[in-house]
Structure 1
Amino acid sequence: MTAVRIALTELRRLTDSTFAKVALVAMVLVPSLYAGLYLYANKDPYAHLDGLPAAVVVQDRGTTLADGQRLQVGDEVASTLVKAHDLDWHEVDAAKAADGLREGDYAFVLVVPETFSADLASSADFTPRRAMLEIDTNDSTNYLAGTIGDRVVEQVQDSVAAQVSRTAAGQLLGGLSTIHAQLGEAATGAGQLATGASDAHAGSTRLRTGSAQLAAGQKDLAAGTAQLSSGAHELSSGLATLDSRTDALPAQTAKLAAGARQVADGNAEVAAAGRRAAAAGSRLTSGLDALDKELPARLAAAGLTDEQVSAVLAETSQLRAPITEANGTLQSTSNDLDRLSTGADQVADGAEQLATASVGLESAIDKAAAGSASLAKGADRLDSGQRKALAGAEQLSSGATALDSGLAKIDTGAATLGTSLADGAAKVPNPTAAQRKAVAQTIGAPVGISSDSLAKAGSYGAGLAPFFLALALWIGGFTLFTRARPLVEEAITSRWAVLPVALGGWLAPVVIGFAQALLTWAVVRFAVGIDMAHPWQMLGFMLLVSMTFMAIIHGLMARLGDSGQFLALILMVVQLVSAGGTFPWQTLPGPLQALHHVLPMSYAVDGLRALAYGGPGLHLGLDVAVLLAWGAGALVLSTAAAHRVHRARRQAFVTGAGGVGAEPVPA
């Protein structure tokens, strides 16, 4: 009998009645119900946390910052939680929260203590305290609710810390901008100070030079005032002598003026006589001129010849020469006398003016003598004052020198200060408002996460799907063999029937296992809606897993009977905790890690993950190889079990206890 015929016979037996058919359908549905319902219930539990009731109790009294700003972080925390709708938050008082937690109305309670805001602001006065949040849970209602509460508290803690850090960073950056601006203003002022100091230094240099020149001038002036004092005394003495000697001057000048006037009058009379003599000489000369013109004609008329006339004219000409010369002398003398008279008049006038002025002069000399005495006294005082001025000028020169030296240092220091402040202002950051906001946000949350996954499940249910699919296929095989026979013993009629019987006992469950795997795959993919990166390859791999698991359970039951079924249950439990379907297998205890590397479900889960998530399939070949090895080993075990039955039947035949169809003992 062939393995296929044995499998078909077994399938007909499993469907020979209505109850059998219903039972078979139920067994086919077991894996899909198990995997489908579990994954449906746990596909994405975190997506429905908005229905989980939680309470927040705000006891925070708030605080006032140094700048007068009111800080009330507790209310902000509560408001943020309620508005986010991540959970079904209720802001209540402490009593109601405690009652609700005890009665199971709230999964957990978040308490913001009274000093929360004050503790957050405590770093400002250098007495830092950690701001604490309290989480109250009740594991008697649900353990995972407390775990979710811990996650919520961590998120709130991170959010508040980021907010506080952003606020502090914003204030710090704003302070840096203020410092930058003030340093810029200080640098500008220092530049102006440097310019003013340079100008002051230049002025002090000029002052030093000028004060030195002033001191030298004051020294020369002191020498001059000393000479002035001496000269003033000499002048006073001379004027006093002049005053005593000019007392008779007015009387003497009056006499001089009278005598001068007499001389002037006499000179005037002499000049008048001279003018009369000159006028007579002029008339004589004029008469001779007229005679010279008439004489030739009159001589000719008298009968003189031309020669006689010329002789007479020659004689008269000689006689006229002394007369002409005398006339010239008279004219010249008359002019001299006129000038003498005029000069005598002027001398007389001057003498009279001198006589008149001598009175004032003598009075002026008196006054000058008195004034020169005062001048001498004043020159003495001037000399004394100048000596003091010289001492002050010398002190001024010394002070100006010291001032110039000090201003030179100030000039250098102001220039250095201006440069240093400008350099400092350039080094102090001056971010814009947008930059301050961006930097504050970065400081508040300095670490970000850039997630790059080679393979991503997408949801909690998808993450568990490979494990529960493998487990469902094992449960399906285990359930199936509650009805299926591992070996059709009556078909073992010869040693050559051992292998077909073993394969036939495995093929019938494999066919049903294929139906289980196909239905489970369809339910998980289409009904539950879990995405698969390689759906068709995954279906093929599930068929391989089903075949392997059927072979293992088949082999155990063929060899051990009902004890093999119990052992299959134990093996399922061991694989359930060692396959690494939930937590990474590296977190398992040492003995379970060793089992992980040996048992087939570990490789079934690994292969299903690679095909479901689309990750690198580096281990897929190993997974297939291990499953095939386990399947082949299980078939060897079931074949050995069939061979054992054959030997037992043959032994029974030898002893006379063989049944119908028993193989005769060979000769």
Structure 2
Amino acid sequence: MTTEQPKPKMQRSRLLRLIVAVVVTIPLVISAIYMWALWDPTKKVDEMPIAIVNSDVGYGEGADRVDAGQGVAENLVKSGALGFELVDEQKAYEGLRAGDYYFVIQIPKDFSESLANIATVTEAPALISVTFNDYNTLKASSIGGSAMEKIQQSVLKGVAATTVGTLVDGVQSLGDGLRTAADGSTQLADGTTTLREGIENELAPGVGQATEGAGKLAAGAGTLSQGLYTLQAGTDTLGDGATQIADGIERLTGQIPLAQVEQLLQQAKAALPNASQLDTVTELIEGLKALQAGSRQVANELTDPNAQYRGGLNKLVDGGAQLSSGANELSAGMVKLDAGVAKLADGARQLDEGAGKLSTGLNDGAEQAPDFGDQDRRTSLASLISTPVGKEYKHVAQAQFNGPGAMVVILIIITMLIPIVVFMSFRGHRFVTDDEAPRSVRDIARRGLAVAGISLVAVWVLAALVWFFMLSPSPDPVSLWQVYLITAAATVMNVALISVLFTLFGYVVGAVTSLAWMMLQLFSYGGIWMYQTVPAPFQWLYWISPMTLVQKGYTASFNGVSGFWPAFVSIIVIGVVAAGITLAIVQWQNKRYQSLNAPGSSGDADTEILTPTP
């Protein structure tokens, strides 16, 4: 009869075993993750599949057309810095959601237009967007950001000809305009020369001739003056004659007492009954009086220079003579002056044409020359020219800074780590030896179900705490029910796999191998490090790791892409196979034990059978 030995306190307290399990496993996992984080993948990043989308439509026509986006895409592919693939936009973003590409580089539609017009001073460079999805892989964003800094030279090489060429074209256009202006200024100089020659050869002689004409006009005016003197003398003679006539008439009329005669005639008309004959006498007397006054007036008009007739006649004759002589000479001079002015007009016309060309050339050059603006804008433009292409990072779900993209990795870790901790919190058992009775199939199945139930509850609780209280914003998977299914399936699968290790190797070795298996998978499954960048043995492990299937299931459920059901079914199959292996191991151990301890066997003579501790 066997005597049951008292159990150590550690064996009796499940809480103490749980505390020990947590204290042991958590630092190991953190240390493993930190150790893997020190891995330098830069030698293998050229194998990372990266999608390039060239949405640039180009700018301009003919020889002036700019296709900077095509140049950038080709330079990136040729650089081989990453595993670049030039694809269309739909394929790129579908591949990003499915995990086929680690990130997407997209060249915008107006890329060439922005670069072609960079000399007009823009507020921002042409932006190339880089989109990451941390639901798929945590390190892709950080490695991608570092890689993008290194491949910036390839981008700048592709746009240098466009940005610098734009400024060179602008300066060249300015030079062409200035050369046109120079040609116009030459014609302007020719026009001014023609103007000078016209003035010297034509206008000046014409003015001289006009001066000569003026001299002749003066001579004619002198001749006219002499003639007028003669006319004046003749007028004086005529005036003397008129005066004498007036004096004679006055003497004649003075000998006749006209007043008395008029009085007598009035008396005679009154006394005579028929005095019509006297009217003739009266008229004669009136005529004599009028003749007397008129002759005197004529004499005054001919002799008095202040009289209207004599003064007006003198001015008219003088002015008419001067006008005739001067007009003739002036006409001759003006004919020559007109010829000189005509040539002056031709020179002025050439001057105007040259000035027009100068103005047009300068205006065209000014329009085509870059307008750099004030000092601040010139400083901004200098910065744009030195770095004409910027990067804009986008995240479907960012993991850094407690972002929702970390949820997939957290779920993968806890679906495996919690079952290990739960297994370790249960009472341990040693290796199965020839003298140790193994546990029954029923005990193993019961323990497996208990571990699975506790693990599921713990996973849901811990996942909910992280989901709602640690991540901001909370994750927003496309299919939440698929997340539930894949989490439950992964937890149960890991329980089955860990059960194999604990059943096969016992408590201590089973715990160590489970943790080692977890750490190896964390490094190789592709959710933290891109599997193309890890050493070759770990790349092989990627294809056989159950954690890889869990990652694919989460990728499908969070991103809403195909692949969920194949991953889910594969996880279930692995769990069932692992559970079957556990039961087969237990049956084999029991059969072996029974055969070794059967009556008459060589092994039961000196063997003390101990009742296994449940």
Larger radius of gyration: 1
TM-score, length-normalised on structure 2?
A: 0.45
Q: Which has the higher helix share?
A: 1
TM-score, length-normalised on structure 1?
A: 0.43
